[in-house]
């Protein structure tokens, strides 16, 4: 079914109709990926989510461009960087799209927590076209003074600054970190402060967003992960508040050349939230497996499928939690 703008909804590129349409896109990807939960096949789970998300995006009335996707054209058969999506090329609103059809492929294959289908959209030119390299990330939730975190500071300095403003000793600060050998030094430094550390196996978009939800008890996110996921997380924080800093990390000259190919000249730049996701933007996510942010896809005895999603918009600060029932095809 094709969706076209009507009446008051046709007023601009970031039309309100796109808010709920984005949920339909992430729902489609999540339900497709859910059929592969616990099957041990990461590639099959990712492929199912990619195909479903692409089909759903192509049903929308827009002139969309994937700026962060599954990789460069020679690396990905669909949803590659630069691919055009939507059914109104040259006519519909020009939209840039950052997406991860399955954030947590390993999680899904092993039936672990916090796998999601994720995307962010913004008007053309407002999402950083980040190369597929690592990014050093630092995030804190809303309510703190501007500039309280800084990648130019040490992890210890950032923790002490947040603890001071929160009015607690550093022992009461909890930091979320990806459980990777490259973070051993960071983890040791945080533990020397007495911090609590929540180690996650994968899914750093969910880890960053967790800093905005008091129920998670997570105060800070630290460590390196994929740069595309950093842009997605920044888009979410633009909608709900919080602060984010990111710096691209390069392992070799090939990665540096790739960054320059996408228009990045200052390879040492520390990016602020608004430099990663500018202007009005929409962030949507649907749970694949249950986690700290969303419930996963569930199949009921009466033949229905249930999903839980969140969709946020920067211009209004609106956060919608969407629980849906779907009939099985």
pLDDT tens-place string over residues 229-269 = 999 999 999 998 899 999 999 999 998 988 888 788 899 99
pLDDT computed for residue 285 by the predictor: 96
The contacts found for 45-51 with CB under 8 angstroms, 24 or more apart, are: 45/102, 45/105, 45/108, 45/109, 46/101, 46/102, 46/105, 49/101, 49/102, 49/117, 49/288, 50/76, 50/78, 50/79, 50/101, 50/102, 51/78
pLDDT computed for residue 165 by the predictor: 96
How far apart are the C-alpha atoms of 227 and 32, rounded to whole Å?
25
Same domain for 142 and 264?
yes
Same domain for 109 and 227?
no
pLDDT computed for residue 144 by the predictor: 96
Same domain for 95 and 168?
no
**1 lies in some domain:** no
Give Rg (Cα) of the chain: 19
Same domain for 223 and 263?
yes
Q: Which stretches does DSSP call E strand in the chain?
A: 63-68, 84-85, 94-103, 116-123, 134-140, 174-178, 196-200, 220-226, 243-249, 270-272, 281-287, 298-299, 304-313, 318-327
Within 10 A of 269 (CB to CB), how many other CB atoms are there? 12
pTM of the model: 0.88
**196 lies in some domain:** yes
Same domain for 145 and 259?
yes
Residue 25 is part of a domain; what is its CATH number?
A: 3.30.540.10
Within 10 A of 100 (CB to CB), how many other CB atoms are there? 30
Same domain for 161 and 66?
no
Query: For the chain, which residues score pLDDT lower than 70?
Result: 1-17, 74, 329
Same domain for 23 and 90?
yes
**255 lies in some domain:** yes
Same domain for 142 and 267?
yes
**2 lies in some domain:** no
Please give the structure tokens belonging to residue 244: 């984010």
**188 lies in some domain:** yes
How far apart are the C-alpha atoms of 117 and 115, rounded to whole Å?
7
Same domain for 122 and 40?
yes
Please give the structure tokens belonging to residue 266: 């200052």
Q: What angle do CA 62, 65, 68 make, to 5 degrees?
A: 135
pLDDT computed for residue 7 by the predictor: 33
- Name the residue range of residue 35's domain: 7-126+281-327
Same domain for 208 and 189?
yes
Same domain for 139 and 33?
no
Q: How many residues does the chain have?
A: 329
pLDDT computed for residue 9 by the predictor: 32
Q: How many structural domains compose the chain?
A: 2
How far apart are the C-alpha atoms of 154 and 157, rounded to whole Å?
5
**114 lies in some domain:** yes
Contact, 267 vs 259, CB < 8 A? yes
pLDDT computed for residue 181 by the predictor: 97
Same domain for 90 and 180?
no
| pLDDT digits 0-9 by tens, 162-184 | 999 999 999 999 999 999 999 99
Residue 151 is part of a domain; what is its CATH number?
A: 3.40.190.90
pLDDT computed for residue 2 by the predictor: 39
């Amino acid at each position: 079914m094709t969706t076209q703008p009507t009446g008051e909804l046709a007023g601009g590129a970031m039309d309100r109709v796109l808010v709920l349409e984005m949920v339909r896109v992430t729902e489609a990807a999540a339900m497709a990926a859910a059929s592969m939960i616990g099957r041990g096949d990461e590639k099959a789970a990712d492929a199912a989510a990619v195909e479903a998300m692409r089909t759903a995006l192509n049903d929308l009335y827009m002139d969309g461009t994937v700026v962060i996707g599954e990789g460069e054209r020679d690396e990905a058969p669909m949803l590659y960087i630069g691919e055009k999506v939507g059914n109104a090329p040259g006519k519909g609103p020009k939209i840039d799209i950052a997406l991860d059809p399955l954030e947590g492929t390993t999680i899904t294959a092993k039936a672990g927590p916090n796998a999601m289908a994720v995307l962010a959209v913004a008007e053309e030119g407002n999402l950083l076209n980040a190369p597929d390299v690592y990014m050093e990330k630092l995030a804190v939730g809303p309510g703190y003074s501007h500039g309280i975190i800084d990648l130019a500071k040490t992890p210890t300095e950032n923790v002490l600054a947040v603890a001071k403003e929160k009015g607690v000793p550093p022992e009461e600060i909890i930091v979320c970190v990806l459980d990777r050998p490259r973070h051993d030094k960071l983890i040791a430094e945080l533990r020397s402060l007495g911090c609590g550390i929540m180690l996650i196996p994968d899914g750093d978009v969910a880890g960053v967003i967790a800093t905005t939800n008091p129920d998670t008890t997570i105060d800070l996110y630290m460590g390196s992960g994929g740069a595309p996921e950093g842009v997605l997380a920044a888009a979410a924080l633009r909608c709900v508040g919080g602060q984010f800093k990111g710096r691209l990390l390069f392992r070799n000259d090939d990665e540096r050349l790739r960054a320059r190919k996408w228009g990045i000249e200052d390879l040492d730049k520390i990016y602020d939230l608004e430099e990663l996701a500018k202007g009005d933007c929409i962030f949507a996510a649907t749970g694949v497996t249950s986690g700290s942010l969303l419930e996963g896809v569930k199949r009921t005895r009466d033949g229905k499928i249930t999903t839980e999603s969140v969709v946020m918009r920067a211009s209004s600060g609106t956060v919608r939690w969407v629980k849906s029932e779907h009939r099985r095809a």
